[in-house]
Structure 1
Amino acid sequence: MTQAEVLDILRKTGVLLEGHFRLTSGKHADFYMQFAQLMQYPEEAGPLCDALAGMFKEEGVQVVVGPATGAIIMAYEIARSLGAKAMFGERDNGVMSLRRGFTIHPGEKVLVVEDVVTTGGSVREVMEAVEKAGGKVIGAAVFVDRSGGRVDLGVPIKSLVTMDTKVYQPEECPLCAQGIPAIKPGSRQV
């Protein structure tokens, strides 16, 4: 699946939004990707998850973990494709944790998944929770890497789309300077 084909699917399913957005990282951007829109369409989301899973099929993945809530379905679909267990991390008193009885056995090979990476913050939090539980993170799979490949997580990162997007600190944002209000369409308010 080519990057252009993936972007066509993201446009068709309403994932790509244009305007002035405040990202989870606190930075600002002129477009946003709302992947919850994609997950409404299993016939579109499934092949994208399968394509990401295929990038790790030779790695012996035993567990797939994504952050709640945005990557729960993604983790499940990629785990299904790889024949692995699916779990999700969630914040407990502000700290990403594996809860609900999820257990990773010492040394199990874990793939961490996320819909979009800009700074890698959420992925790092999940990686820390996995490592604390005894798992060995062997890589990260993302639909879109907004960093242009600059995020370093210490493990291989594979994505369907790599973009070098401009993000701004709020005080340096040209859209703020124009008086255009920034919105936060995601699930976490920062």
Structure 2
Amino acid sequence: MSWSLQEAIERTGVLKQGHFLLSSGRHSAQYMQCAQLLQYPHDAGKAGEAIAELFRDEAVDVVVGPALGGVIIAHEVARALGVRCLFTERKEGVMEMRRGFAVKPGERVLVIEDVVTTGGSVKEVIALLEEMQAEVVAVGSIVDRTGGHNPFACPYRALTEIKIESYTPEECPLCREGIPVVKPGSRTPAKG
């Protein structure tokens, strides 16, 4: 039986319904929780293989993913490409490479995230890698929520594009209905 990302997203309950405060500070009635997919090693591996195929010709030396959402999928992409995998994490709000991880000047890096909306976390990772003089060759993700706009200065490819409407808190119809807002994910929302 062949693997389908759309089937896996539906089967694992990735798309959540409710009233969510996004890391951008905007509100939405839907939220993509790719951890629901990535909890299954078979699905994580298949998604990693599919993303790796999008970048097979990039001569990647290392894959880097931001914690928390990018860690598992970056690892699976690195496994499929046969290269090492590192991750970055925030310490006191600043993206850092810790745990003895390092990239060498000139290493070709593929940055992988689970979902890209504004690209904020990935941009922080790219800035950190550029400070280390690595060459960021591309960005990849499972889900593209950018609305077709590449927010990066390098190529960006995703396995699927999903459009989810979002609102400023002032224009949010869910707030007007008095539905309590929930903050999913691991990133602190932007200040409005």
Is the counterpart of residue 38 in structure 1 residue 37 in structure 2?
Answer: yes
Moved over 4 A (4+): none
Structure 1 residue 161: Cα displacement? 0.9
Gaps of 5+ in 1: none
Question: In terms of mean alpha carbon deviation, does 137-146 or 167-176 score higher?
Answer: 167-176
Q: How does 1:163-182 map to 2 (within 5 A)?
A: 163-182=162-181
| Maintained 8 Å contact 1:147/1:165 | no
What TM-score comes out, normalization by structure 1 length? 0.93
CA distance, structure 2, for counterparts of residue 187 and residue 123 of structure 1: 14
Q: How does 1:150-161 map to 2 (within 5 A)?
A: 150-161=149-160
Question: In terms of mean alpha carbon deviation, does 29-38 or 117-126 score higher?
Answer: 29-38
Q: How many residues align?
A: 188
Q: CA RMSD in A?
A: 1.7
Q: What residue number does 1:70 align with?
A: 69
Q: How does 1:65-104 map to 2 (within 5 A)?
A: 65-104=64-103
CA distance, structure 1, for counterparts of residue 178 and residue 79 of structure 2: 46
Q: Deviations for 1:62-111, whole angstroms, at most 9, x for unmatched residues?
A: 11001112211111111111111100001122111111111111111101
| Maintained 8 Å contact 1:118/1:151 | no
Q: How does 1:16-165 map to 2 (within 5 A)?
A: 16-165=15-164
What TM-score comes out, normalization by structure 2 length? 0.92
CA distance, structure 2, for counterparts of residue 43 and residue 78 of structure 1: 13
* Identical positions, percent: 51
| Maintained 8 Å contact 1:70/1:114 | yes
Residue identity in the other structure for 2:163 = D
Residue identity in the other structure for 2:42 = E
Residue identity in the other structure for 1:17 = K
| Maintained 8 Å contact 1:119/1:151 | no
Gaps of 5+ in 2: none
Residue identity in the other structure for 1:77 = E
SS at match of 1:144: strand
CA distance, structure 1, for counterparts of residue 127 and residue 188 of structure 2: 22
| Maintained 8 Å contact 1:89/1:129 | no
SS at match of 2:121: helix
SS at match of 2:185: coil
Question: In terms of mean alpha carbon deviation, does 161-170 or 74-83 score higher?
Answer: 161-170
Structure 1 residue 157: Cα displacement? 0.8
Question: In terms of mean alpha carbon deviation, does 46-55 or 32-41 score higher?
Answer: 32-41
